[in-house]
């Protein structure tokens, strides 16, 4: 993404564009730097910013940008003021105005403040900045155009004026100055006037251009960013909508689907906490790992073809820059996952209890372990098995999951938190062996029945069928004594549909309830 530069009356936009190819935005106000970071900016330059009537750019959002690994430059006006206040935290100050603030030669905000015309007219200046007047008088004095007393009086009167009224003409009008020096100084001003703010702005753009040419975008903050209540309130105020949709409207739609609402809120909470931990630990997204995460994220969602990626991005209201920021967020979250892996694993039992599946998974895992131990199998036999890795993958994805083998298998495996393909193959091998045991159990059982939506799911000699709830209820109350009737129903095909490849959910419905179902021995 291009550097983002906040520019107003200090320098004409046309002149700035000749110096630096950037995303030029209006003078910065509260929330603008935060928004630039959220837009994906990796380098930000602040020249002009609003004072007084509009809330000024906040120190905290500049610290947030630095914490996110964004380089922030400041010069000339509001940029110089904020850089002087934050240079110890990593903000880069440029030019004489910044140095004057940093060294306490000047302190007041009004030193750089002016009034100007509307953006449609190019922000024409309607007053003179005090820092420019100081620099001009210093030059005139050094060139012996004016004397010490003239300089002192001119500065005193200029400083006494409100910044909106401050101009050379107004000082000449209000100050009691020697007539001869006034004439000389007026004549000298035509060519000798100093525009310190403009000079510093040009220097900052040159400096940013050098960083851009050398690709020096990344920055690592040396402080811990604090997510205070005040900060969170500001974020909520400056983020009233997402792509034109108010957050409350989005929440209303989400709440109408309670299951999705609960899942989305819990995922959002986990990501917020992970992002905070990433900020606390000064974790940044590494550019050399971006492509890997990009592929992993899309493959895990079966988004592979270019047209599918483009369509998905459009549907999710993401462009190239915001998608890059999105993936970089997941890179940081992945690092946090790695750091907290042991804690996450220890937290899984309670999470599974919340989902109501801990007991089932625990029982199945223990049963699988005991069965494989009796068979003398562990998973490493996958390397010497008659079944090749391709055979196991085909069985697992096509027959077990009812899906196709992912095109980018390595990325899919990494998305599951598995580092090596062989470890994944061995897990499939164990599942394959255990699945043979469960299939044989079904066949030995004969008939197995279980609820599936409003119908019944039947497993008969390894084949799967649906039977309507109405026909199920019409069967004799003692199925054990009526084996032939049920078999006839299957044979005659009355409201029964054979399923060649039952879904994973269907199989689990049978297998996990094997001891609870009605059946015929």
Q: H or E stretch including 459?
A: strand 455-460
For residue 444 the two structure tokens come to 């030995």
The residue among 126, 121, 51, 120 whose CA lies nearest residue 82 is 51
pLDDT at 87: 94
Q: Name residues whose C-beta falls within 8 Å of residue 48's C-beta, 6 or more positions apart in sequence.
A: 6, 7, 8, 9, 10, 27, 28, 76, 77, 78, 79, 123
CB-CB neighbours of 93 under 10 Å: 23
How many other β-carbons are positioned within 10 Å of the β-carbon of residue 437? 14
Tokens of 206: 């040159």
Under 8 Å between Cβ of 380 and 484? no
> How far apart (Å, rounded) are the C-alpha atoms in residues 455 and 240?
47
Cβ neighbours of 97 (radius 10 Å): 33
Report the b/e string of 342-361 with b at 16+ CB within 10 A.
Answer: eeeeeeeeeeeeeeeeeeee
Q: Give the pTM.
A: 0.54
**520: phi > 0 → left, psi -120 to 50 → alpha, else beta; which?**
beta
Per-residue pLDDT of the chain (521 residues; tens, 9 = 90+): 789 999 999 999 999 999 999 999 999 998 899 999 988 898 999 999 988 778 889 999 999 999 888 999 999 999 999 999 999 999 999 999 999 999 999 999 999 999 988 888 888 999 999 999 999 999 999 999 999 999 999 999 999 999 999 999 999 999 989 999 999 999 999 999 999 999 999 999 999 999 888 776 667 778 888 878 788 777 777 765 555 566 777 888 888 998 899 889 989 999 888 888 887 777 888 888 888 888 888 888 888 888 999 999 999 988 888 888 889 889 999 889 888 888 988 999 998 898 889 999 999 999 988 888 888 876 565 555 677 889 899 999 988 888 888 878 888 888 888 888 888 998 998 888 888 775 555 444 444 444 444 445 555 444 555 555 555 555 444 333 333 344 444 444 334 444 443 433 343 333 323 233 333 33
CA angle 332, 335, 341 (to 5 degrees): 140
Cα-to-chain-centroid distance, residue 429: 37
User: What whole-number distance in Å separates Cα of residue 238 and Cα of residue 23?
Assistant: 20
pLDDT of res. 133: 96
- For residue 500, the model assigns a pLDDT of 41
Bridge pairing between strands 455-460 and 463-468: antiparallel
Instruction: Please name the residue that has the structure tokens 């069965």.
Output: 371
- Kindly report the backbone phi and psi dihedral angles of residue 449, in degrees, each rounded to the nearest multiple of 5, phi listed first: -120, 145
Task: Look at the block and give the residue holding tokens 């994805």.
Answer: 397
What is the token pair recorded at 273? Answer: 């906490």
Max CA separation in the chain (angstroms): 126
Report the alpha-carbon distance of residue 479 to residue 447 in Å, rounded: 10
- Give Cβ neighbours of residue 401 (< 8 Å, ≥ 6 apart): 504
Segment holding 456, helix H or strand E: strand 455-460
Q: Does an H or E element contain 498, and which?
A: strand 496-499
Chain centre to alpha carbon of residue 51 = 30
Torsion sign across C-alpha atoms 217, 218, 224, 226: positive
Bridge-based pairing of strands 447-452 and 455-460 is antiparallel
Domain boundaries, the chain: 4-121+198-213, 133-188, 240-339, 377-440, 446-511
| The residue to which tokens 């402080």 are assigned | 223
Please give the structure tokens belonging to residue 3: 């550097």
| pLDDT of 446 | 41
> Closest by alpha carbon to 64, among 32, 95, 108?
32
């Amino acid at each position: 993404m291009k550097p983002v530069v906040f520019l107003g009356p200090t320098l004409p936009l046309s002149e700035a564009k000749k110096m630096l190819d950037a995303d030029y935005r209006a003078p910065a106000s509260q929330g603008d730097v935060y928004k630039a970071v959220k837009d994906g900016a990796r380098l930000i330059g602040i020249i002009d910013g609003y004072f007084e009537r509009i809330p000024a750019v906040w120190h905290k959002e500049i610290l947030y940008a630095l914490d996110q690994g964004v380089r922030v430059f400041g010069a000339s006006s509001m940029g110089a003021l904020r850089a002087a206040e934050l240079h110890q935290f990593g903000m880069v100050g440029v030019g004489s105005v910044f140095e004057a603030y940093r060294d306490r030669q000047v302190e007041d905000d009004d030193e750089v403040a002016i009034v100007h015309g509307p953006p449609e007219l190019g922000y024409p200046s309607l007053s003179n900045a005090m820092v420019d007047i100081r620099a001009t008088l210093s030059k005139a004095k050094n060139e012996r155009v004016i004397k010490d007393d003239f300089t002192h009086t001119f500065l005193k009167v200029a400083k006494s004026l409100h910044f909106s009224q401050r101009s050379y003409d107004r000082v000449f009008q209000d100050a009691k100055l020697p007539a001869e020096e006034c004439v000389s100084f007026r004549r000298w001003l035509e060519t000798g006037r100093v525009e310190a703010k403009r000079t510093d702005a040009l220097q900052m753009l040159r400096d940013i251009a050098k960083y851009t040419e050398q690709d020096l975008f990344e920055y690592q903050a040396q402080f811990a960013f604090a997510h205070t209540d005040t900060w969170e309130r500001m974020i909520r105020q400056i983020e009233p909508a997402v792509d034109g949709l108010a957050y409350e409207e989005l929440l209303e739609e989400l709440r109408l689907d309670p299951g999705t609402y609960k899942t989305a809120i819990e995922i959002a909470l986990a990501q917020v906490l992970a992002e905070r931990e990433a900020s606390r630990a000064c974790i940044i997204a590494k550019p050399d790992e971006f492509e890997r995460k990009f592929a992993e994220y899309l493959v895990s969602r079966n988004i592979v073809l270019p047209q599918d990626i483009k369509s998905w991005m459009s549907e999710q209201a993401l462009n190239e820059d915001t998608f890059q920021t999105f993936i970089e967020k997941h890179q940081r979250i992945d690092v946090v996952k790695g750091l907290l892996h042991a804690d996450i694993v220890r937290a899984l039992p309670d999470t599974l209890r919340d989902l109501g599946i801990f007991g089932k998974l625990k029982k199945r895992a223990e049963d699988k372990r005991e069965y494989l131990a009796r068979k003398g199998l562990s998973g490493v036999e996958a390397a010497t098995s008659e079944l090749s890795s391709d055979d196991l993958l085909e069985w697992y994805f096509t027959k077990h999951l009812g899906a196709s083998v992912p095109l980018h298998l390595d990325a899919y495996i990494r998305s599951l938190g598995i580092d090596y393909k062989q470890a994944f193959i061995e897990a499939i091998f164990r599942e394959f062996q255990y699945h043979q045991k469960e299939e044989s159990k079904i066949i030995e059982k004969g008939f197995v029945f279980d609820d599936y939506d409003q119908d019944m799911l039947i497993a008969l000699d390894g084949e799967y069928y649906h039977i309507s709830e109405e026909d199920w209820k019409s069967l004799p109350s003692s199925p054990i004594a009526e084996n032939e009737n049920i078999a006839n129903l299957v044979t005659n095909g009355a409201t029964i549909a054979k399923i060649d490849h039952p879904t994973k959910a269907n199989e689990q419905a049978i297998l996990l309830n094997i001891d609870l179902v009605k059946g015929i021995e």
